[in-house]
Amino acid sequence: MTEINFVEIFQKMKTILITGASSGIGKETALFFAKKGWNVAATMRNIHSINTSEFPNIKKFLLDVVDEKSIQTAIEKAIQTFGSIDVLVNNAGYAAVGAFEYASTEQVKKQFDVNVFGLMNVTRAILPYFRKMGRGTIVNVASVAGHAAFPIFSLYNATKFAVEGFSEALQYELKQFNIKIKIVEPGPIKTDFYDRSMDVFTHPEINAYDAYINPVVKKMGEMGMKGLPPVAVSKTIYKAAISTSYKMHYPVKIQAKALICMKRVIPGTVFRGLVGLTLK
C-alpha cells in the first residue's frame, strides 16, 4: 500500500489563512474552502474551540489579532505547514453597541483594537511575504455598516467605515506588487454576532437612553435571526479569493447590494428616516 505524503499534497494546493475561525463566518469559511480542496490555516484565540479532525487540510493555529507576536508565529507556522499562503481573510471582529455616552474608554479602545488595529496588524505582518512572492490576496470582511450608519452602532460603524477607507487606500500602494485587496460586505447574518459576540453598553448612573436603546437592540437581534446563513458570506469570500481582477467590493447577496445602493441614491435625511422607522 502506497504511503500518502500529505506534505507534498498540501504544497500543491492553494492556502488560505482565516482569522476568527472558531465560530460564525470564520468557521463556515474554513469548512467551505476545505471542501473546495484548499489548505486552510484556521486561526483563533482558542484552538480547542472547534473540532476539524474530519478535514486533514484544515490546521488550527493560535492567533490573537491584538498580539503581534502570535500573528507572526501563526503566519510562519502556516507557511511551514502548507508551503505557502495565497489568501488572507481578515474576519475576526465583534460589535460593541449601545449609547455612546454609556461606553467606557476601555470598550471604545477594545472595539478599535480588534476590528481595525487587529486587522491592520495581520495585514502588515503578511505583506513582506506577499511582496516577496509577487502576489497575494487580502480579503477584509467589512459590512454594510461600512457604508450606512445604524442606531446604537456608532462604534461598530466607525470601525467598518475605517476598514473600507483603509482597504481602498491600501490597494493603490499594493497593486504594483500584484497584491489584491477585496472587501466583503455582509448585511444581517444568522450567527452569534447578535448575542454572545455582542458587547452591549450599560451605565450604572445613566438610563436616559434606555427607552430608545432597548427596543432597538431587540429589533436588531430579530433581524439577525432572520438573516442569511453564514455560508452565504463564505461563498462571497470564495468568489473574491479566486478572482483575478482588481474588483474591490463584494456585497453579500441582494440584501446588502440593495442597502448600499439605497444609501448612495436616496437623500441622507430620507435614508435615515427609513432606518429609524425600520428599527422603531
Residue ranges per structural domain of the chain: 6-278
Query: Where is pLDDT greater, at 260 or 190?
Result: 260
> How much is the average pLDDT of 31-36?
97
Alpha carbon distance, N-terminus to C-terminus of the chain: 66
190 assigned to active site: no
pLDDT band at 219 (very low <50, low <70, confident <90, very high): confident
pLDDT band at 72 (very low <50, low <70, confident <90, very high): very high
> How much is the average pLDDT of 38-58?
94
Give residue-wise pLDDT tens across range 241-266. Answer: 999 999 999 999 998 999 999 999 99
DSSP secondary structure, 140-188, as one string:
EE--GGGTS--TT-HHHHHHHHHHHHHHHHHHHHHGGGTEEEEEEE--S
SS3 215: helix
Sign, CA torsion 52/53/59/62: positive
DSSP state of 228: B
Does the pTM surpass 0.75? The reply is yes
156 assigned to active site: yes
Give residue-wise pLDDT tens across range 130-167. Answer: 999 999 999 999 999 999 999 999 999 999 999 999 99
Of the residues 27, 59, 160, 180, only one is catalytic, namely: 160
- pLDDT score of 49: 86
- pLDDT score of 191: 76
Query: Where is pLDDT greater, at 243 or 280?
Result: 243
pLDDT band at 64 (very low <50, low <70, confident <90, very high): very high
Pairing of strands 179-185, 58-62: unpaired
Q: Which residues of 2-31 are buried (b: 16+ CB within 10 A; e: fewer)?
A: eeeeeeeebeebbbbbbbbbbbbbbbbbbb
Of the residues 94, 102, 156, 238, only one is catalytic, namely: 156
Query: Where is pLDDT greater, at 28 or 221?
Result: 28
- pLDDT score of 195: 58
DSSP state of 23: S
For the cut 80, the answer to whether the pLDDT of residue 205 exceeds it is: yes
> How much is the average pLDDT of 32-50?
95
- pLDDT score of 10: 53
Residue 8 C-alpha from the chain's centroid: 31
Beta strands (DSSP E) in the chain are: 15-18, 39-44, 58-62, 87-90, 95-97, 136-141, 179-185, 198-200, 249-251
Give residue-wise pLDDT tens across range 1-31. Answer: 444 555 555 556 899 999 999 999 999 999 9
> How much is the average pLDDT of 196-211?
86
pLDDT band at 199 (very low <50, low <70, confident <90, very high): confident
Query: Which residues are bridge partners to 58 per DSSP?
Result: 40
Count of residues making up the chain: 280
- pLDDT score of 244: 95
- pLDDT score of 263: 92
CATH number belonging to the domain at 6-278, selected among 1.10.287.70, 3.30.565.10, 3.10.20.880, 3.40.50.720: 3.40.50.720
- pLDDT score of 1: 42
Contact 138, 182 (CB under 8 A): yes
